Structure 1
Amino acid sequence: MSKEEAYVTEKYEDQEKTFQDVETNNIELDEQDDSPIEEVRVTVPNTDDPQLPYNTFRMWFLGLLFTAAISFVNQFFYLRQTNISIGYAVVALVALPLGHIMARVLPTRQFNIFGYKCSLNPGPFSIKEHVLIGTMAACNTSTAYAVDIVIIQKIYYQDHKNFAASLFLVLTTQITGFALAGGIRRFLVRPAHMVWPQTLVTASLFRSLHAEMTEDDNGRMSRMKYYMIVTGCMFCYYFLPGLIFPTIGFISWICWLAPNNKVLAQITGSNGLGIGTLAFDWSAYTSLIGPLVTPWFAQVNIIIGFVLVTYIMVPWAYYSNLWDSKNFPILTATLFLNNGSAYNVSKVLSRDGGDLSEAAYQAYGPLRMDSFFALTYGVGFAGLTATLVHVMLHNGPEIVARWKSARAENEDIHSRLMRVYPEVPDWWYGLLFIVTFALSMVTCVVWDYMPWWALLLALFIAIFFVLPVGIVQAVTNQQPGLNIVTEYIIGYALPGHPIANVTFKTYGYIVNVQALNFVSDLKLGHYMKIPPRIMFMAQLISAIISAIVNLGTALWLVNTQPHICSKEGYPFTCRNTNTFYSASVIWGAIGPARVFGSKDGAIYGSVQWGFVVGALLPLVFWLASRKWPNVAWLKYVHWPVLLAATSNMPPYLPYMYSNGLFVGFVFAFWLRRYRYGWWSRYNYLTSAALDSGIAVSGLVIFFAIQIWGGAFPTWWGNPSQLTPTNADALDHCYYGQTNFYGE
C-alpha cells in the first residue's frame, strides 16, 4: 500500500466504522450525535478533519481548467442537433486521477509570499479539494440562459448589440442569483431537515471515489468497488439504447397489437400518452423525477398529479374535442391554426424589429395549441399559487422563527462541525447584490432591453419566490419553475415586445434558479465540511468565467457557421434556441391576452382559473389535517409537487414519468422498507454510478462515432423515416404523433 493510499485509508477509517455501525444497528445516534434525517445519516459522515487541504494550487488549477473547458464544450453542443452536456459525475471521475498525479509530481517545498507560507503540494489529494473542483464545474453544467437572448437578437431580430451589452446581460443574470443565495442560506442550508436530496447523490459519489477499494469488515462489497462495477455495466449497456438498439428506449408494445389504430396509438405510443410503454433507458427514468433520490412521499404526489392530468383530464378534453383538440396531436408543443396546419409566426410579425403586427395577426388567424399543452399551462398556474400557500401554512412559523434568531436553534452535527470555519459575512453577499443590481439597471436601460420598472418587477418576483420554491426543492427534489408566470406577467404589462419579454423572464426566472443552484452547492459544502469562504470564492469566480466562455463560444459560432440555427446549418440547428425564440413570439410578440385572454379570438381563458384553484387546494387540505389530525395521509399531500408533476410535458413525455415512478417504487419504497441494509449503503451510490456510466458512454458514442458522421446500420431496432408523417418512429407506433384523423 502506498503512502497516499495509507493516508486516505486512515482519514476515512473512522467515517467507515460509523456507517457500518449505523447500518448494522449496533449503535443508536440521537440528534446530538448525528443528523435527525435518515437519508443523511446513511450517506454523509458525521466527522470532519479540518486539517485536510482545500485551498490549494491544484484545486484552483484543475477547477479553473474544468470551468473553462466544460463551459466551452457544453455551449458548443448546446447549439448542435445532438445536445450533450458534461456534468458533475464526469468531472469527478476525470479530476480524481489528475489530482493524484499532481500530488505526486508537484514540488513539496514551501514558499513565503508576503509572509504567507504555502506549498504547491501540501500532501495527498483530498476529498475537499475534489468537492471544490466539482462545485466549480457544477456552475457550468447548464449554459447561461441569457446567451439565447443574444443569439435570437442577432439571428431572428437583426438587433446587433455590442459585446459589452451582451456580456453585462449574461453576467448579471448568472451572478445576481448568487447574491440571493447568501440571503437565504440560513433558511435552506443550516437546518437539518432541508435535505436537498440530489446533493446526497453527489456526496455519496465523492465519498466512494475516496474510499478504499476493499471488502469491509462485514464482508460486503466496498462502495468504491460497487461504484466502479455499476458504472462499467451502465457504460457497456448504454451502447444498446444509445446506438445499436434505440427502440428498447421506448417499447410501445400495446400499440403493436393494432398499429393502424389511431386512437390506440395516441393512448399507448411513446409520443402519445404512453400507457404501457416500457423504457429500458436510464436517461428516461432519471431525466425528470430522479427516482432513487426523490423521497417516496413526493413521488406519490407526483403519481397522483400525473394520473389526474395525463390519464383523466387530457383524454376527456381531447376526445370531447375541447378547443377543437382533435385537429391536433394529443401531445405536442407545436402551434397551429384552427384547421390543424402549422402556425407560421413570421406572417404576424412586423419587419422592423420583430414586434407584432396586429393587422397581420387578425388577418392570419389566432394561435391554437393542443389541449394537453393548454391544460399543463393551467396546472402550472395552479402550482405557482399552491407553492406560496403551502409554504405559508406549513413552513410560515418556522420561517418567522428563523428570521428572528437564525442560529439559536438546536443544530445537528453537521452544523456544529461547520462552526470551526469562519462564515461568509453578510456584507459580502450584500455588496455583490448592489453591484449586480447596478449593472443590471445599466444593461436594461442603456441598451434598451426593457424599462427600469420591469427590472425591479422581475427581481421582486425572483426574490419573492426564492424561499418558498427553495423549501419545496430542498424537501422534495422538485423545483416549481417561474418561467410561465414571468412570461405571463410581462406579456400583459408590456405586450408586443418579444426581447423585453425574454429579458424579463430571464431576470425573474433564471435569477431564482441560479440562487437555488448556488444554495444546493452550499448544502453540498455543508455536508462535506467545505469552509464557506473558499466555497464563496470558488462559486463566484467559476460562475463569472463560465458566463464569459459561454458567451464567447456562442458568438464565435454565430459569426462563423453559415445558416446557423436552421436546417441548412446542420449540425448547428439550435433546437433549444429555436424553442426559446418561439416563446418570445408567443408570450412577447403575440402576448397572453391573445392566447389566454379574450382578445382577437383567444379561447384558452379558462385555464387562468388555475391560479385560484392552486391557492384553495392547499388551504382545504391544511384545514382538513387540523380537523382530523389522526388521518396521517393528509399531512403528506404536497400540492406544489402534485400540481407541478406535469409542468415539463411537453417537451418531456408521459412514459418517462410512468417508468421513472415504477423505479422509484422499487428503490424509494420497497428496497428502503424491506432491504434497508442494502438501501442505506448503496442507494444513492447507485444513482451516481448509473449517471456516470451513461454520461461517459454517451460521450464515447458521440466523439468516437457520431461526430465523424458514423451511425449504426438501419434495422428494426434502429429504424429511420418510417412514419406516414415522415418523422422517426423508433417505437414502431406510427400514428402516435398524428391528429385524431391520422393526418
Structure 2
Amino acid sequence: MVDDTGVPKPRDTNVLTTLPQNDKEAFDDMHMSGEKKSLDDEDSEKVDSNKDDIENDCAYTALPQIVRELVDFEDDPTMTVITWRFFLLSGTLTALGAWLTEMGFFRVRRLSIVITAPMPTSCVRQTTYVPYSIYFVQIASLYLGRMLASSLPQIRIGFGKFSFDLNPGPFSVKEHVAIVLAANTGAQNNLGDYVLAPLRIFYDKPMNGWLAILFMLSCVFIGFSFASFARVFLIENPITPFPKALQQVSVFNAMRNSMEENAVVAQKQMKAFGAQLMLAQYAFPFVSSLAFLCWFSSHPKAQFLGSGLGGAGFLTLTLDWSNIGSQCIYYPYWAQVNIFAASVIAVWIIIPAAFFTNAWDSALYPIQSQTLFLKNGSDYPTSALLTTNNDLNLTLFEEIGPPMMSAQLRWNFFFAYVAYVGAFVSCALFQGPMLWRTFKSYRQPQSKRADKLTQIIRRYPPVPLWWNLVLFIIPVIILTILTAKGVLYMPIYMLFIGIAIGAIIVLPMGYIYSVTGYLMDVGYFNELFYGYAINAGGSRHPVGSLTYRVISGQCWYEAQMMLEDMKLGHYFHIPPRQVLLAQIWGICVGVPVNYATILWVCNTKGDILSGAVKDPNRQWTGQTIISLNNQSIAFALVGPKRLFADAIYTPLLYGFLVGALAPAILYLLHRRWPRARFDLCSVPVFANAFQTYWGNISVSFFTVFIFGSINHLWIKRYHFTFWKKYAYLWGAAADTGYNFSLLVIFIAFSAVKTIPMANWWGNNVDSVERCFHVPTQGIAS
C-alpha cells in the first residue's frame, strides 16, 4: 500500500505537497512510474521545451508520471459532450451489451458450489457465452460518430427548447468518451438477477415487472450516490490513478490520433492493436495448459502436481490470453508479487501437501471441489432441507448434520475474512493520515489544493449535493417499501444494515481498486454476516440472503465502477454533471434490457436452468443460479451457527483476528524499518488472492507473473518510451482479440447448434493438456 509515514508537511500550502515527499516517491515506485529510463528516453524528453515547465510545476508533479505522460492537459470548454448522437450511439451499444452480458449470466460455466465432480478437461474449452468488450464500443462509436458528423446536414430539428442540431459539429473526444462511460455503466448484467432468477425458477414466485425494475435501479443509484460522496478522496486525489482507466486513455489517444494526418506513431500503435484481433483457442486448446511435468512422468503425484486442469499446475504455462488478461500490464508490480506469493503458497504448497497426506479429509472430500458433502462423502441434500413453508427441515438436519466442505473451500472462507477486515485496517493505518489530510484540505481555497487535472475540472459546475441526496433517498424509500411489503423476503432492519455496510466499504475497498485495479471480493463476508444477523428475527427465506447480497454488493460494486468511470471523465476533462448524466442514461437503458432478458430466459429455459431438463446443446448451464440458491440455503436457511457447529469450522472465524493483527504488525515493521518496504506486503490483496478458488484450473498465475515481471522490470524500466506507447494499448488489444475470437466461435459453433471441435493431438478427448493420469482424490504418502 502507499506509504504514509506522517512526515511533517512542507511549507507549500498546496495540498498536493501535503503528501510527504517520500510518500510521493514511494507511490511512483510502487505504482506507475519511477522507471529507470533508457538514454534515448532521456534525450527525447530534453527535446520537449514544455517538459521542464511541467516538471517544475507542483500541480503537475503531484500526479504519477504515467498520468503526466498519457493525459492531455489542454482543455476546450466549448467541446460538445451530450448530443443526440450520444443518445443514439450509447443507447444502441449499451442495449446490445446489456443483452449479451445478461445472457452470459445464464450460459457461462462456473465451477462453484453446485459442482459434484471435477469437470472433464475436454469440456473446459467449450464456449457458451458471448463476452462484450468495452473496446469494441470505443472502436464502433468512433467510426459511427465520425460517419454521422461527416454525412449529416447542418440543420436544426424541432421547435424552441425542444429542438436540436442534426449535425452538432465534429465528433469530439469528450462525446466519444461519454458514449463509452454510458456503455461502461449500462452494458453489464445487473446483480438483481441474483434475486429475480431464483424466485422464478426455484420458487415459482416471479417478481412484478415494474417492481423488479425499480429494485434493480434502486440498488444501482444508491451506488451512484456512494461514488459521488467518495469523489474527493478517490477522483480528485492525484495518487489514485485507476490503472484500467489509464488503459482506456491509451486506447482513446491512439485511436483518435491515428486519424490525424502525419500521425505516424499513432498509426503504428493502431496497427499493433489490430494485430491482436484473433487468438487461436478453440482449435488448439492444448496451448491453454502446457503441463511440463505431465510430459515427463505418468506417476499420479507428478501428474497432479503438473496438471493445470485438475491439479496444482506446478510450473505450468498457458498461451491462452483468456487465462492471462491485461492485468499483467496494468496491475502494479507490488500487487502482482503479493498475488503470486499467495497463489504459490495456496496452490503449489498447501494443496499438494494436503492431497498427498490426506490432511483435512482430502481423500473423503475432493480438495479442489466446492461441493457440500455429507460426512460419508456423498453429496449434501441442500434442496431437501427447504420445507414448503420455506423453513428449515429440522428433522432432516438433525439426522444429517451440517454440510462438510473441502479443505480448500474452508481456507477460502478463512482468508476471505482476513481480506475483508485487513482492507479496513490497512487503509486506516497506511492511508488514514493521507485521507485525513485530503479531507481537511477541502477547507482551503481551491487554487491552493488541486493538482492540474483537478484545477481543470473545477472550472465546470460540480454535481449539486441535492442530486446525490435524491439518488440516495428515493431509492432507499423504494427499497424500504418493497421490503416492508415482503417483496424482497428480507427483514427491514437488514436493508438498512446492508446499505450502511455498502457505504462503509466504498472507501477502503475503492482505494485498493484505485491504485491496483484489483477487485476485492466481499461475497463470503456478506453471506456470513447475513446468516448471523438474521437470528435477530425475520424470515429465513433463502432469497432474503440473495437480496441482501445484491443490496450490500451491488451498491459497492456499482460505486467502484462509477468511480473508475468518473476518473476516466476526469482524465478527459468532461464536466462532472455530464459524466453523471451519461452514467444515469446508461443504467436507464441497460436495466430494462437486463430485466427483459432475465424474463425471457427464465420463461423459456426455466426447466433447463433448474436442472430438471438437460440442454442437448449444453448452452444453458444454469450453474450460477443453482449455486446461488444452494449458498443461500446453506447460509440463510441453515445459518452459519448450525453450519459451523462442527469443530472443523472453528478456526475459520479466527480469520477476522488475523485480518486485524497482520496489517498492524506490518505497519509497525514499516515504521521501524521503512527501507525494508513492509508497506508493499498488502494483507487484503494477499489474502484475497489466497482465497480465490482456482476451480481445478491453476494455469494462469505463473504465466501472469512472468509476463508482469517482463513488463515491469525490463520493458517499463529500460524502455519506458516504448512501454508508454504500446503497453496499455497492447493489453487492451489482446483483451479485445480474445473477446472478438469468442464472438466468432460463438456465432460459428454455438449460436444455433453446438458444434464441438474435432478431436486431434491438440484437442485430446481425454485430456487437452495430455495429463492422462491425474487422480481426483487424495493420495496417501
Q: TM-score, normalised by structure 1?
A: 0.90
Q: Does the C-alpha gap of structure 1 residues 670 and 375 become closer, same or farther in structure 2, counting only changes over 3 Å?
A: same
Mean Cα deviation higher: 585-594 or 63-72: 585-594
**For each residue in 1:349-395, what CA deviation from the matched residue of structure 2 results, as whole angstroms up to 9, or x when unmatched?**
22333x43122123234312211111121011001111111111112
Q: 1:686 to 1:416 in 2, by over 3 A?
A: same
Structure-to-structure mapping, 1:625-644, within 5 angstroms: 625-629=670-674, 631-644=675-688
Q: Which residue of 1 is the match for residue 420 of structure 2? A: 384
How many Å apart are 1:610 and its aligned residue?
0.9
Specify the code of the residue in structure 2 equivalent to 1:235. Answer: L
| Structure 1 gap ranges (5+) | 1-18, 723-728
Q: Which residue of 1 aligns with 2:635?
A: 587
Select which of 46, 50, 61 maps to 2:88. 61
- Identify which of 210, 224, 230 aligns with 1:164: 210
Of residues 248, 256, 261, the one that matches 2:300 is 261
- The CA distance in 1 between the partners of 2:267 and 2:693, in whole Å, is 37
Are residues 393 and 573 of structure 1, via their aligned partners in 2, closer, same or farther at CA, if it must alter by over 3 Å? same
What CA RMSD, in Å, does the superposition of the two structures yield over aligned residues?
A: 2.5
* Structure-2 separation of matches of 1:675 and 1:136: 35
* Cα displacement (A) at 1:513: 0.8
Alignment of 1:714 onto 2:752: no
**Equivalent AA in structure 1 for residue 745 of structure 2:** I
1:225 paired residue number: 268
CA contact (8 A) 2:94 2:586 kept: yes
Aligned residue for 2:622?
574
Alignment of 1:558-573 (within 5 A): 558-561=602-605, 563-565=607-609, 566=611, 568-569=614-615, 570-573=618-621
Partner Cα distance (1:278, 1:340) in 2: 33
Number of the residue aligned with 1:329? 366
Give the aligned partner of residue 32 of structure 2: none
Given that 2:190 and 2:594 are in contact with CA atoms closer than 8 Å, whether structure 1 keeps it comes out as yes
Matched AA of 1:223: A
Distance 1:449 1:351 in 2: 15
Distance 1:317 1:741, change over 3 A: closer
**Equivalence for 1:685:** 729
Identity within the alignment, %? 28
Indicate whether 1:314 and 2:351 are aligned. yes
- Does residue 416 of structure 2 align to residue 368 of structure 1? no
Is 1:435–2:474 an aligned residue pair? yes
Counterpart position of 1:498: 542
CA distance in 2: counterparts of 1:157 and 1:95, whole angstroms: 42
Paired position in structure 1 for 2:242: 196
Mean Cα deviation higher: 337-346 or 41-50: 337-346
- Cross-structure match for 2:188: 142
1:423 aligns with 2:462: yes
In the TM superposition, what is the alpha-carbon distance from 1:434 to its structure 2 partner?
0.3
TM superposition shift of 1:21: 9.3
Of 212, 217, 231, 1:185 maps to: 231
**Which letter maps to 1:587?**
F
Q: Retained in 2: the 8 A contact 1:449–1:499?
A: yes
In structure 2, the residue corresponding to 1:194 is in which secondary structure?
coil
Distance 1:524 1:44, change over 3 A: same
Verify the 8 A CA contact 2:506 2:556 in the aligned structure 1: yes
CA contact (8 A) 1:247 1:717 kept: yes
1:411-455 CA-partner distances (Å, limit 9, x unpaired): 222111112221111210111100011111112221252111000
- Contact between 2:543 and 2:632, CA under 8 Å: does it hold in 1? yes
Taking the aligned partners of 1:155 and 1:112, their CA distance within structure 2 comes to 47
Pair 562,484 (structure 1): closer, same or farther in 2 beyond 3 Å: closer
1:507 to 527, 532, 551: 551
The residue identity in structure 2 corresponding to 1:713 is A
**Which shows bigger deviation, 59-68 or 257-266?**
257-266
> Any conservation in 1 of the 2:228–2:468 contact (CA below 8 Å)?
yes
What secondary structure does 1:244 align onto? coil
Q: Matched residues in 1 for 2:371 and 2:415: separation?
A: 19
For residue 762 of structure 2, give the secondary structure of its aligned residue in structure 1: coil
Matches within 5 A, 1:61-460: 61-81=88-108, 82-110=128-156, 113-114=159-160, 118-212=164-258, 222-232=265-275, 234-236=276-278, 238=279, 240-241=280-281, 243-259=282-298, 261-262=300-301, 264-266=303-305, 268-286=307-325, 290-353=327-390, 355-406=391-442, 408=444, 410-446=449-485, 447-460=487-500
Q: Any idea what SS the aligned residue of 1:107 has?
A: coil
| Inter-partner Cα distance in structure 1 for 2:92 and 2:594 | 14
Q: Show the counterpart of 1:733.
A: 771
Aligned CA distance change for structure 1 residues 438 and 161 (closer, same or farther; 3 Å): same
Report the CA distance between 1:589 and its aligned residue: 2.3
Deviation at 1:471, TM superposition (A): 0.8
Contact 2:289 2:769 in 1 (8 A): yes
Q: Contact between 2:186 and 2:589, CA under 8 Å: does it hold in 1?
A: no
* SS at structure 2 position matched to 1:420: coil
Any gaps of 5 or more consecutive residues in structure 2?
A: 1-39, 109-127
C-alpha contact (below 8 Å) 1:246/1:730 kept by paired residues: yes
- Is the Cα contact below 8 Å between 1:266 and 1:272 reproduced in 2? yes
Question: C-alpha separation between the residues in 2 aligned to 1:551 and 1:117?
Answer: 32
Structure 1 residues 285, 259: CA separation in 2 closer, same or farther (over 3 Å shift)? same
1:478, CA displacement in angstroms?
1.3
Residue in 2 that maps onto 1:474: 514
Q: CA deviation at 1:215?
A: 9.7
Question: 1-side partners of 2:318 and 2:601: how far apart?
Answer: 36
Measure, in 2, the Cα distance between the counterparts of 1:146 and 1:422: 33
Q: Is the 8 A contact 1:179 1:429 kept in 2?
A: yes
Write the distance in 2 (CA, Å) between the matches of 1:457 and 1:25.
56
Give 3-state SS (helix, strand or coil) of 1:604's partner. Answer: helix
Distance change in 2, residues 1:23/1:444 (3 Å): farther
1:450–1:504 Cα contact (<8 Å) kept: yes
User: Kindly tell me: are residues 445 and 318 of structure 1, through their superposed partners in 2, closer, same or farther at Cα, counting changes over 3 Å?
Assistant: farther
Q: Is this contact kept in 2: 1:421–1:532, CA < 8 A? A: yes
- In the aligned structure 2, how far is the partner of 1:260 from the partner of 1:365? 38
Q: Does the C-alpha gap of structure 1 residues 168 and 33 become closer, same or farther in structure 2, counting only changes over 3 Å?
A: closer
Looking at structure 2, the residues matched to 120 and 683 of structure 1 have their Cα atoms a distance apart, in angstroms, of 39
**What do residues 463-497 of structure 1 show as CA deviations (whole Å, max 9, x unaligned)?**
11110111111112112222111111111122643
The residue aligned with 1:486 is 526
The answer (yes or no) to whether the contact 1:328–1:340 under 8 Å persists in 2 is yes
TM-score normalised by L of structure 2: 0.85
Instruction: Tell me which moved more, 80-89 or 60-69.
Output: 80-89
Which AA in structure 2 matches 1:493? Answer: A
CA 1:43–1:363: 2 relative to 1, 3 Å: same
Residues 65-84 of structure 1 show CA distances to partners (whole Å, capped at 9, x for unaligned) of: 11222212221232225122
* Counterpart contact for 2:269–2:725, Cα < 8 Å: no
Query: 1:736 and 1:633 mapped to 2: Cα distance?
Result: 41
Instruction: Report if the CA contact (8 A) 1:263-1:740 is conserved.
Output: no
The aligned amino acid for 2:77 is P
* Partner Cα distance (2:742, 2:154) in 1: 39
Equivalent residues of 1:176, 1:437 under 8 A apart: yes
> C-alpha deviations, 1:23-50, integer Å up to 9, x for none?
6343343233466302212222222222
SS at match of 1:32: helix
Change (3 A) 1:527 1:737: farther
Q: Give the distance between the partners of 2:726 and 2:518, measured in 1 at CA.
A: 22
Aligned length: 703
| Residue deviations 1:274-305 (CA, integer Å, cap 9, x gap) | 1121100111112xx71100111111222222
